[in-house]
Every structure is written in C-alpha cells, then in structure tokens.
C-alpha cells in the first residue's frame, strides 16, 4: 500500500515525504508551481501534474495501490489571497474537489488535510483550541475552512475518513541539513530574517507596530516541520488502526513570539546584527495566533520536540549551508 502526497515538492510536503519513505511507499504529485523537484526524496515516485487533472489522478489511482492521501498542495500566502482571491478558491477549493471526487471514485478512503490557524480569524481567546470559533478574515483561511466543511459532509455519506491538521506557523529545516524552507519569492518571516543576516537582503520590514500585543508587533506560534511531519504519520496510523477518524487537531508549540522576538532570536542564533525597518500592517494579518495542541496529545501522544531556539537553529544551519 502506498501514500499519495499531493504537494510533496513543497516545504512541508517534502519534509513529510522524507519521514515517510523509510517505512512507506510514497508517490508525490506536484505541479512545481511553488515547489522544487530537488526537494523530493529520491526514494519516492514523482508525478509532475496538477491535482485538478482527472486523467493524472486516474493514472495514479489505477497504477498504485493508494491507501491514503496527504494533501499539502495549495496556495498559502495570506496577503496574496487578499489581492487575488479567485486564485485561492480555484486552487485550494476547486482543484481539491477534483482530488476528492477521484478518491471516492477509486475507493481511496483516508485523507489528511493541511489546514491552518488562519481558519480562526481574530480569535476571542489567548490560546486557541479546536473549539474556538472559526471566522477567517482572509480568502486563504476561508478556502481551507470550506474544504474542512466539505470533508465532514463527504464522510457522512461515503466510506471515507479524514483528519484535518490546523498548523500554526511552520518553520525550521530537516536535521539532515539536506532540505529546508524554500519559497520563491520568500514571504515568511524566519527565512527572510535569516536571508538578511546572511547578507542576501538589505533589511527586514516589520509589518505593523500598533497591534494589541506586548511590543505592538504580531505574535505567532512557530512549529518545526519535523514535528508537523510526525503528526501526519501518527494521524495516518491512528486512522489505519481504527483509533481515530474525522477529527480536527491544532498543531503548534503553545507559545507565542512577536515579530521583534523572532528577529532577536535570529540575531542570537546567528551572532549577527539586523537592520530593521518598521512598515505598515500587511493586509489580512491577525494580531495573535497561539495554539493549544492538547487534543492531539491526548488522542495520539503527539508533542512537539523543537522549541524556538532549536527551530531557528535548524533553519540557520540549513541557510548557512
């Protein structure tokens, strides 16, 4: 039995493939719009194509015995989604519907979905649990919540099980040093700061200093990608063993760090001094997003291993290489 990883050439997908290949047969489907073929572990089969392409999905589902689909493929930039919502609804919703239809048609019944803290919008609590109300404030978050709702509907009427994983801010690099965070252009805070500290950017822009947080900059919960990858594998095995089905779990470290604190930690880890420019708010950004991940700890025993220092340390090691 094999696992199909949609978006396995991307940042989180490629790290999960690396964790999967030692135990499972893995097929990667990716159109390489934001991913890179060189990130895919060579033990995986790679199919270059789009998840909205019915013929490619028919081919994969008939030539491989797929037991589960891990679905990472999406557009995932908050600011871009505000500027170009149709791109987000087309890729994150319409193309995913094609994948789901083909799974049902071919009798593939296990699905793990990459969702996001952006489904919560501006939470009315300091620490977000899965019971916190979902009220996304940007098209990206809405596109993910729509798929979550569609999954619940499908599971009511088909032989189909899903796990939704709502990640907070994914960061860090694989401990092998072989792969790390690659987005082009890069928009994520930690790689931008590290690129600057390596001399590849003139300065860092901090988007917004007037948020209702301790220092006025946005607070996020950063989680290492290997911790995320392990949560996917535990979720899959939990479903396959009949322990869990049709659940939604947060994945975070349970600690919030402001943009300024991230810059400080990057300076400490690298031993270099940053040049910072304070800029206006970026559209679509909530002030604070911090997770409680107790639900997945209770269900599957998952706990994050990497703290912020270790996350930034792994990213710095990879960037320096």
Ligand X SMILES: O=c1ccn([C@@H]2O[C@H](COP(=O)(O)OP(=O)(O)O[C@H]3O[C@H](CO)[C@@H](O)[C@H](O)[C@H]3O)[C@@H](O)[C@H]2O)c(=O)[nH]1
Ligand Y SMILES: NC(=O)c1ccc[n+]([C@@H]2O[C@H](COP(=O)([O-])OP(=O)(O)OC[C@H]3O[C@@H](n4cnc5c(N)ncnc54)[C@H](O)[C@@H]3O)[C@@H](O)[C@H]2O)c1
The contact set with ligand Y (CB under 6 A) reads: 7, 9-13, 29-35, 50-52, 72-74, 76, 91, 95, 114, 116, 167, 169-170, 183
CA separation for the pair 160, 4 (Å, rounded): 15
Q: Is the peptide bond before 82 cis (omega within 30 degrees of 0)?
A: no
Nearer to ligand Y, 23 or 33 (CB): 33
**DSSP letter (8 states) at residue 178:** S
Name the token pair of 208: 């917004």
Nearer to ligand X, 110 or 319 (CB): 319
13 contacts: CB under 8 Å, gap ≥ 6:
5, 6, 7, 28, 30, 35, 70, 72, 73
Taking the complex as a whole, how short is the minimal distance between the CB of residue 116 and ligand X, in angstroms? 3
125-164 footprint of ligand X as x/- string (CB under 6 A)? ----------------------------------------
95 binds, among ligand X, ligand Y, none (CB under 5 to 8 A by kind): ligand Y
Nearer to ligand X, 76 or 293 (CB): 76
168-197 footprint of ligand X as x/- string (CB under 6 A)? xx-----------------xxx--x-----
140 catalytic? Reply is yes
Name the token pair of 278: 């304070």
Q: How many residues does the chain have?
A: 321
CA separation for the pair 235, 165 (Å, rounded): 9
153 contacts: CB under 8 Å, gap ≥ 6:
none
Q: Which among 140, 162, 222, 236 is annotated as catalytic?
A: 140
73-112 footprint of ligand X as x/- string (CB under 6 A)? ---x-x----------------------------------
Taking the complex as a whole, how short is the minimal distance between the CB of residue 97 and ligand X, in angstroms? 20
Taking the complex as a whole, how short is the minimal distance between the CB of residue 114 and ligand X, in angstroms? 9
73 binds, among ligand Y, ligand X, none (CB under 5 to 8 A by kind): ligand Y
Taking the complex as a whole, how short is the minimal distance between the CB of residue 242 and ligand Y, in angstroms? 26
- C-alpha torsion sign, points 91, 94, 97, 102: negative
74 binds, among ligand X, ligand Y, none (CB under 5 to 8 A by kind): ligand Y
CA separation for the pair 99, 77 (Å, rounded): 22
79 contacts: CB under 8 Å, gap ≥ 6:
187, 282, 283, 284, 285
CA separation for the pair 54, 102 (Å, rounded): 7
* Chain residues in the site for ligand X (CB under 6 A): 76, 78, 116-118, 168-169, 187-189, 192, 205-207, 218, 220, 259, 282, 285, 289
Residues belonging to the active site: 140
């Amino acid at each position: 039995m094999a696992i199909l990883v949609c978006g396995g050439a991307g940042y989180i997908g490629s790290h999960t493939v690396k964790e999967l290949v030692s135990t499972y047969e893995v097929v990667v489907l990716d159109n390489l719009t934001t991913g890179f073929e060189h990130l895919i572990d060579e033990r995986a089969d790679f199919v270059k194509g789009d998840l909205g392409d019915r013929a490619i999905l028919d081919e994969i589902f008939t030539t491989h015995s797929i037991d589960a689909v891990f679905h990472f493929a999406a557009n995932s930039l908050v600011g871009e989604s505000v500027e170009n919502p149709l791109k987000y609804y087309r890729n994150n919703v319409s193309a995913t519907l094609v994948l789901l239809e083909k799974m049902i048609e071919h009798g593939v019944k296990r699905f793990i979905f990459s969702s996001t803290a952006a489904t919560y919008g501006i939470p009315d609590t300091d620490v977000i649990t899965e019971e916190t109300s979902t009220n996304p404030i940007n098209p990206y978050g809405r596109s993910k919540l729509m798929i979550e709702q569609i999954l619940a509907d499908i599971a009511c009427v088909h032989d189909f099980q899903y796990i939704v994983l709502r990640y907070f801010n994914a960061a860090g690099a694989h401990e092998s040093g072989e792969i790390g965070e690659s987005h082009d252009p890069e928009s994520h805070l930690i790689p931008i700061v590290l690129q600057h500290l390596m001399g590849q950017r003139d300065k860092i822009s901090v988007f917004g200093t007037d948020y209702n947080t301790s220092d006025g900059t946005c607070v996020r919960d950063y989680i290492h990608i290997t911790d995320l990858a392990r949560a996917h594998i535990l979720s899959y095995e939990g479903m396959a063993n009949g322990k869990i089905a049709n659940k939604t779990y947060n994945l975070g470290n349970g600690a919030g760090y402001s943009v300024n604190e991230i810059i400080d930690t990057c300076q400490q880890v690298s031993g270099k001094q940053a040049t910072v420019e304070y800029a206006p708010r970026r559209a679509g950004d909530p002030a604070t997003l911090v997770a409680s991940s107790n639900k997945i700890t209770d269900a599957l025993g998952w706990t994050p291993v990497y703290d912020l220092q270790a996350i930034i340390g792994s990213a710095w090691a990879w960037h320096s290489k």
